[in-house]
Amino acid sequence: MENSWSIKRRKTRRINVGNVSVGGDAPVRVQSMCNTDTRNVKATIDQIHELEDAGCEIIRVAVPDKQAASVLHEIKRGIDLPLVADIHFDHELALEAIKQGVDKIRINPGNIAMRSGRKGVEEVVRAAKDAGIAIRIGVNSGSIEKHLIDKYGYPTPEAAVESALDHIRFCESLDFENLIISVKFSRVPEMISAYKLLSSKIDYPLHLGVTEAGTSWIGTIKSAIGIGTLLSMGIGDTFRVSLTTPDKTEEIRTAYEILKSLEIRSHGPMFTSCPTCGRTEVDMLKLTKGVQDVLKDVKEPIRVAVMGCIVNGPGEAKEADIAVVGGKGRGAIYKKGKLVKTTTEEGLIDAFKAELDALGKESQA
Ligand code: SF4
């Protein structure tokens, strides 16, 4: 997508996660995490397919025990997306996940070292090196090492960054640099500060996220502000929007809306609608829903606007490829600011669909 206000992305190394590259010149990658019981292979594969259809590019699953670790190869066989194993505390699980053929492991070396010592972390790093896979060092504000909490007083951005840098140096001392790094906080200002600080010190790709962001409404706002602020500064190579939601595809849709809002990546239509006001002359809720239903399966990055009155609507929708403008019982369709059709209010959705199809044919010609 043409980026008229030119976000200059920070230069990072390119790291491969299976067949998907992260960092360097690669697009900012969208990822998610399953909420199925990993041991339930079918449910997990089904959810991964659903997330892939929505646009997910890298998928992570929790590996809480040996049984979950033992089915990773089966999950991998059933999917096309790169598979990431998320492991806490138990380095044996990380070793098993690597043996099972995952494309990356996510560990917090601090909590692995707590249980198995640095020796355990070393074994994992060496196994990842032999397998040629990447490791994400995932530092979370809630699990920063005690000596750093003692040093900084509480989990500060500086503490999180120092923790990440310690782990990075340890991996580098083992000649392992196939790394992606995250320093997640649930508080947005600290999350932004931590990533800004980290990005000034290293050139490994950064995985962004606001951890425990909350339910759809709150989590979307926190993620859009936290992740969006960093992306607007050119920081971040991949990210996950974390939402407490029954429909995990919402994380993917939200992620792409963040990218589309910043004009970093296109993914399907860019939709705008007027907020309505005292001049509104049409049932806007019905009209926007009708237009969005038509757009549901559209993959092209077209700009669509729905406006509520004939007075200001056409002017406000000038930027749109297609604008649907309501009037008093009648409405109009505009293409790139030019009136192409007037019709009854009831006929607007059909007219929109016809113009959309025509636009698709024009762009193929
Ligand atoms: S397009 Fe018309 S109805 Fe919608 S907010 Fe603007 S003036 Fe109000």
Amino acid at 307: M
Dump pLDDT digits (tens) for 37-58: 999 999 999 999 999 999 999 9
Residues 6+ apart with CB under 8 A from 124: 91, 94, 95, 98, 105, 107, 112, 135
CATH number of 15-261: 3.20.20.20
Question: Cα separation of 179 and 198, whole Å?
Answer: 14
Q: What are phi and psi of 306, to 5 degrees?
A: -120, 125
User: Residue 299 pLDDT more than 70?
Assistant: yes
For residue 2, the model assigns a pLDDT of 47
Residues 6+ apart with CB under 8 A from 90: 112, 115, 116
Ligand 1 close to Cβ of residue 274 (< 6 A): yes
Which ligand 1 atom is at minimum distance from the Cα of 325?
Answer: 1
The two structure tokens encoding residue 342: 């007037």
For residue 346, the model assigns a pLDDT of 94
- Give 316 Cα–ligand 1 centroid separation in angstroms: 8
Dump pLDDT digits (tens) for 207-224: 999 998 889 999 999 999
CATH superfamily entry for domain 270-360: Sulfite Reductase Hemoprotein, domain 1 (3.30.413.10)
Q: What integer is the mean pLDDT of 130-142?
A: 96
Burial of 37: CB neighbours in 10 Å, binned 0-12, 13-18, 19+: middle
Domain spans of the chain, in order of start: 15-261, 270-360
Give, using CA atoms, the residue closest to atom 8 of ligand 1: 277
Work out the pLDDT band at 110, boundaries 50, 70, 90. confident
- Which residues partner with 20 through β-bridges? 17
What proportion of the chain, given as a percentage, has pLDDT over 70? 98
Ligand 1 close to Cβ of residue 224 (< 6 A): no
Burial of 235: CB neighbours in 10 Å, binned 0-12, 13-18, 19+: buried
Comparing CA positions, the residue from 193, 188, 199 lying closest to residue 165 is 199
Amino acid at 284: M
Question: Cα separation of 74 and 62, whole Å?
Answer: 15
pTM, entire model: 0.92
Dump pLDDT digits (tens) for 138-156: 999 988 999 999 999 999 9
Q: Is 197 helix (H, G, I), strand (E, B) or coil?
A: helix
The neighbour count for residue 244, using CB atoms within 10 Å, is: 12
For residue 260, the model assigns a pLDDT of 95
* Helix ranges (DSSP H) in the chain: 41-54, 66-70, 72-77, 91-99, 109-131, 146-152, 157-173, 188-199, 216-232, 249-261, 284-295, 313-316, 348-364
